[in-house]
């Protein structure tokens, strides 16, 4: 299986560990992710706050580059990228004005975009294209006894819930259970982490982050699994400030792909786990083959 791959800026910066774990896990499953040549920033939420049609132009360059590769789908792991690329597809379909602006911009660059190529998340690929049975076969170190809170955040499930439910998604729950982990009930799984408010208005943003951490601890989780680089950063990098304001909530937050890598027996040093502020406790050694 071969897909066009749009990493987004975070996976080259604060979210490096996401890419470091995603690529070897996909490779182990025979999924080839081919990085788009010369992709640009998706625009995220900040760009959309300044100019809507320019935001769509920004996204459309990536969509056009992806179509040029001839791949069947474009895969993007970052929630903001996933949302913006899908949103642009919707706007191009629904708004003649946006369509006109984007067409003019594409013409300027000699690019073409038909609008047909689906934009998908790795979770969707893993569960619906690869399949849980294939994933189960690759597990050499089951995550038995590890209690995981599955945290999806907002923008992969809302407003375009293409492969899962907007309020109670279960794709990652099922995936983690397949790895042998114990998935704890986590009713806050699609609540907002605060997004960029943690940096701009810490009093407001960090309160949201704190609530998520506290609930995961209260539910007895050992670790929070996330699918978004901004969620991971917020839940991991502000423990000092949160502890000063509300008391400590010591729980690590890792990417679901890092947990997959551990279950597949990939070396911890190669999964970016050392990039965490709050480190995950090492798992027991791989059981010897019977």
Partner 1 sequence: MEHSPRQIMALVRADFKDEVLRSRSIWLCASCYACTVECPREIRITDIMYALKQRAILEGIYPKRFPIPILAKEFFKMVHSKGRITETLLVMRLFLKANWRAVLSSWRQGIGLIRTGRFVLRHERIEHRAQLAAMLDSDVRHEPGSASKEAA
What mask of x and - would describe binding to partner 1 in positions 138 to 177, judged by CB under 8 A? Answer: ----------------xx--xx-x----xx----------
What mask of x and - would describe binding to partner 1 in positions 39 to 78, judged by CB under 8 A? Answer: xxx-xxxxxxxxxxxx-xxx--x-----------------
CA 265 to chain centre: 22
Please, what is the minimum distance in Å from the beta carbon of residue 203 to partner 1? 11
- Binding residue for partner 1, selected from 12, 128, 218, 265, defined by CB under 8 A: 12
- Nearer of residues 135 and 255 to partner 1, judged by Cβ: 255
**Distance between CA atoms of residues 284 and 287, nearest Å:** 8
Q: Which distant-in-sequence residues (6+ apart) come within 8 Å of 209 by Cβ?
A: 193, 194, 198, 234, 235, 238, 242
Please, what is the minimum distance in Å from the beta carbon of residue 270 to partner 1? 14
DSSP 81-130: HHHHHHHHHHHHHH-HHHHHHHHHHHHHHT----S---EE-HHHIIIIII
What mask of x and - would describe binding to partner 1 in positions 95 to 134, judged by CB under 8 A? Answer: xxxx--x--xxx-xx-------------------------
**Distance between CA atoms of residues 233 and 195, nearest Å:** 10
- Nearer of residues 39 and 151 to partner 1, judged by Cβ: 39
Cα-based distances in Å from 176 to 29, 79, 132, 191, 254: 16, 19, 10, 20, 13
- Nearer of residues 178 and 253 to partner 1, judged by Cβ: 253
Helix (H) or strand (E) holding 226: strand 223-226
DSSP SS3 for 148: strand
In the region spanning residues 190 to 229, those forming contacts with partner 1, defined by CB under 8 A, are 190-192, 194-197, 199-201, 204-205
User: Degrees (nearest 5) of the Cα angle 68, 15, 69?
Assistant: 10
Contact footprint for partner 1 (CB under 8 A) = 9-10, 12-14, 16, 38-41, 43-54, 56-58, 61, 83, 90-91, 94-98, 101, 104-106, 108-109, 154-155, 158-159, 161, 166-167, 190-192, 194-197, 199-201, 204-205, 237-238, 240-241, 274-277
């Amino acid at each position: 299986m071969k897909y066009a791959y749009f990493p987004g800026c975070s996976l080259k910066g604060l979210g490096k560990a996401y890419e470091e774990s995603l690529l070897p896990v996909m490779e182990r499953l025979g999924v080839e992710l081919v990085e788009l040549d010369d992709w640009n920033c998706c625009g995220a939420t900040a760009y959309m706050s300044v100019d809507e049609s320019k935001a769509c132009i920004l996204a459309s360059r990536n969509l056009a580059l992806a179509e040029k590769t001839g791949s069947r789908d474009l895969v993007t792991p970052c929630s903001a990228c996933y949302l913006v690329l899908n949103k642009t597809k919707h706007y191009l379909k629904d708004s003649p004005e946006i369509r006109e602006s984007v067409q003019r911009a594409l013409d300027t660059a000699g690019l073409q975009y038909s609008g047909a190529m689906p934009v998908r998340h790795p979770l969707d690929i893993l569960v619906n294209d690869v399949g849980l049975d294939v994933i189960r076969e690759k597990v050499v170190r089951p995550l038995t006894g590890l209690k995981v809170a599955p945290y999806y955040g907002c923008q992969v499930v809302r407003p375009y819930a293409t492969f899962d439910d907007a309020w109670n998604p279960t794709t990652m729950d099922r995936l983690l259970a397949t790895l042998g982990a114990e998935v704890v009930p986590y009713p806050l799984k699609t609540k907002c982490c605060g997004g960029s408010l943690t940096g701009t208005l810490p009093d407001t943003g960090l309160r949201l982050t704190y609530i998520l951490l506290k609930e995961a601890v209260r539910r007895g989780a050992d670790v929070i699994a996330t699918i978004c680089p901004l969620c991971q950063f917020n839940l991991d990098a502000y423990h000092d400030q949160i502890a000063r304001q509300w008391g400590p909530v010591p729980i690590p937050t890792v990417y679901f792909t890092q947990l997959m890598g551990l279950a597949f027996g990939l070396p911890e040093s190669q999964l970016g786990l050392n990039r965490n502020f709050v480190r995950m406790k090492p798992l027991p050694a791989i059981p010897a083959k019977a």
